[in-house]
Structure 1
Amino acid sequence: MKKLILSAAILLGGLSSQAATIEVTNTVAPLVKFQDEYKEVDAVPAAIKTALDNAYPGVKLEKAYVNDKKEYKIEIIVRETKSIVYTDAQGNILKK
């Protein structure tokens, strides 16, 4: 019986000596919407609509933005997937 109690005491003592306090710091980056100097517009040129229809069949235009260089940032939905496409005024898709 002594051996059983002694074994239990050693086992519990060994487990408690390995316990350590872990300090967890929670760093949260603030969410900032940055439009890259784009301003929202209500309508886009027909050339852009045609180019998007040809490139992405079944595309839905959600929002459109334009900058000073007449480059368009267009939020689209294709097959229930949201994406952002950059184009120029002639409908050429830009790589950004």
Structure 2
Amino acid sequence: MKKVIFVLALALGSMTAFAQNTENVEEAAAEVVAQDDFSEIAAEELPEAVTAAVATNYPTATIDKAYVNEAKQFKLEVSLEDGTSGTLYADESGNWIEM
């Protein structure tokens, strides 16, 4: 069930990116710049709360790459056993955030 939710979240995120009107293009560009301010870190450097959240919500997920920004938000590139992959965002307390 969690795999289905994960895939649906990825699909919804993809669809909303294309649903923006031209008035929001500048806002979207600013958001993309903010998302690109992540620096890569080793998965072992992730806070325990973040790794626990991944293990709890996505037990078959493997963290392929991890990134952190100045606000202590974490970008996680993960892959599931079934071959699907995606990106998750979490704060240092392990709460999921939308970017």
Which range, TM-score by smaller chain? 0.5 to 0.7
Q: Alignment identity in percent?
A: 33
Segments of structure 2 that go 5 or more residues without pairing to the other structure are 1-32
Segments of structure 1 that go 5 or more residues without pairing to the other structure are 1-33
**Alpha-carbon displacement from aligned partner over 1:48-93 (angstroms, at most 9, x marks no partner):** 0100111112110100000010000000011211110000001101
Q: Please, what TM-score do these two structures have when normalized by structure 2?
A: 0.59
Structure having the larger proportion of residues in helix: 2
Superposed CA RMSD in Å reads 1.4
Moved over 6 A (4+): none
Structure whose CA Rg is larger = 1
Correspondence for 1:76: 78
Structure having the larger proportion of residues in strand: 1
Query: May I ask how many residue pairs the two structures share in their alignment?
Result: 63
Higher relative contact order, chain-length normalized (CA < 8 Å, sep 6+): 2
Q: Please, what TM-score do these two structures have when normalized by structure 1?
A: 0.61
